[in-house]
């Protein structure tokens, strides 16, 4: 199918818009840490069932030690660190601004790709960084009380948003390394595994995410909150849909998209979430939206596109 990768990329942007909205509802009802635990466990069940149905084994077949190492590291950076920051930003500044900071992911991916993979940082990429930061600044900066310019959002929420974008970008580069090892580990006579590899890769990342969040919950001594959370019907329903559209559909399709189109095109289309989420967040959460915020979101996405021209 022509433009299959592009269609997948747009589907990812829509999927991430949905998961952001459901996650904001769930975070505010049951807590960000609790949501992440439930989300990781549910995603493992969904991904395991998918692999079992199509491959006959409820685990990632053919994955070698290098594959597990790099994808686990990606899961720690992207899921444990990145998503912890992202969901906390939803609580403090809302999913619309939280997703805006996710446009920092290509910036973080470009820098980490330069460091880890030795990839070149082009002039367009540097310009894209500046444009993206300008768009974010236009959206989150306003007239301050003591100075001419100040943050109109809580500083803690902004820092969580930055952490989320950086975690997503670095995690993507680590995933790329892990999937390259995975491709080399699959036997040459196996020809029907390429479309399932993104789901298998996501499964490995989700295992690390689950273990990471269980460790955090144990350290904070918050296991007693799980029974209360499970009995919150609206919170659990939102968590279920956040899982379906997030680590199950969204992440897996994002890894599949880069297999069917250029990474730059895929990343640009997937970065449309901050624009797609504007109207739904206004309708669902009655958030006031200014023209400057809309322009800022558009500029930040334009900045993302410059990375790949």
| pLDDT at residue 74, as a whole number | 94
Rounded to whole angstroms, the maximal C-alpha distance in the chain is 67
Residues 6+ apart with CB under 8 A from 152: 140, 141, 142
Say yes or no to pLDDT of 119 above 50.
yes
| pLDDT at residue 143, as a whole number | 60
Residue count of the chain? 309
Say yes or no to pLDDT of 149 above 90.
no
Task: For residue range 240-268, list pLDDT tens digits in order.
Answer: 999 889 878 887 788 777 667 766 677 77
| Maximum average pLDDT range among 69-83, 104-118, 130-144 | 69-83
CA separation for the pair 112, 103 (Å, rounded): 15
Q: Could you give the percent of the chain with pLDDT greater than 70?
A: 94
If one compares 186 and 125, the residue with the highest pLDDT of the two is 186
CA separation for the pair 97, 85 (Å, rounded): 13
Identify whether the C-beta of residue 35 lies closer than 8 Å to the C-beta of residue 27: yes
Say yes or no to pLDDT of 100 above 50.
yes
Average confidence (pLDDT) over 275-287:
85
Query: For residue 272, what are its two tokens?
Result: 């449309």
Q: Which of 295, 255, 268 has the alpha carbon at shortest distance from 125?
A: 268
Average confidence (pLDDT) over 61-83:
94
If one compares 69 and 194, the residue with the highest pLDDT of the two is 69
Cα 252 from chain centroid (whole Å): 11
Say yes or no to pLDDT of 284 above 90.
no
Strands (E), the chain: 141-142, 150-151
> With the C-alpha atoms ordered 11, 256, 190, 205, is the resulting torsion angle positive or negative?
negative
| pLDDT at residue 148, as a whole number | 52
Distances (CA, A) of 206 to 71, 79, 264: 9, 7, 25
Task: For residue range 224-234, list pLDDT tens digits in order.
Answer: 888 888 899 99
Neighbours of 75 (CB within 10 A): 31
Say yes or no to pLDDT of 280 above 60.
yes
Identify whether the C-beta of residue 205 lies closer than 8 Å to the C-beta of residue 70: no
Average confidence (pLDDT) over 43-68:
91
pTM score: 0.84
Average confidence (pLDDT) over 62-77:
95
CA separation for the pair 171, 68 (Å, rounded): 14
């Amino acid at each position: 199918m022509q433009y299959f990768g592009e269609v997948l990329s747009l589907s990812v942007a829509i999927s991430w818009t949905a998961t952001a909205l459901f996650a904001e509802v769930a975070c505010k009802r049951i807590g960000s840490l609790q949501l992440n635990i439930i989300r990781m466990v549910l995603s493992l069940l969904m991904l395991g069932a998918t692999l079992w149905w199509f491959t006959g084994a409820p685990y990632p077949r053919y994955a070698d030690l290098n594959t597990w190492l790099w994808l686990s590291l990606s899961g720690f950076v992207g899921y444990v660190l990145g998503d912890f920051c992202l969901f906390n930003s939803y609580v403090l500044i809302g999913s619309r601004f939280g997703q805006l900071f996710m446009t920092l992911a290509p910036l973080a991916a470009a820098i980490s790709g330069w460091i880890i993979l030795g990839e070149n940082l082009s002039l367009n990429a540097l310009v894209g960084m500046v444009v993206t930061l300008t768009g974010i600044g236009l959206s989150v900066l306003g007239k301050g009380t003591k100075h001419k310019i100040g943050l109109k959002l809580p500083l803690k929420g902004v820092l969580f948003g930055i952490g989320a974008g950086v975690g997503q970008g670095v995690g993507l580069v680590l995933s790329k390394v892990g999937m390259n090892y995975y491709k080399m580990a699959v036997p040459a006579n196996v020809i029907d595994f390429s479309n399932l590899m993104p789901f298998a890769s996501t499964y490995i990342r989700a295992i690390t995410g689950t273990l990471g969040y269980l460790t955090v919950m144990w350290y904070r001594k918050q296991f007693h909150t799980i029974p209360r959370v499970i009995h919150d019907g609206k919170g659990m329903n939102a968590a279920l849909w956040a899982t379906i559209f997030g680590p199950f559909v969204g992440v897996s399709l994002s890894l599949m998209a880069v297999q069917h189109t250029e990474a730059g095109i895929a990343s640009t289309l997937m970065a449309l979430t901050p624009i797609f989420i504007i109207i739904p967040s206004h309708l669902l959460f009655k958030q006031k939206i200014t023209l400057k915020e809309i322009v800022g979101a558009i500029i930040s996405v334009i900045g993302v596109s410059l990375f790949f021209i």
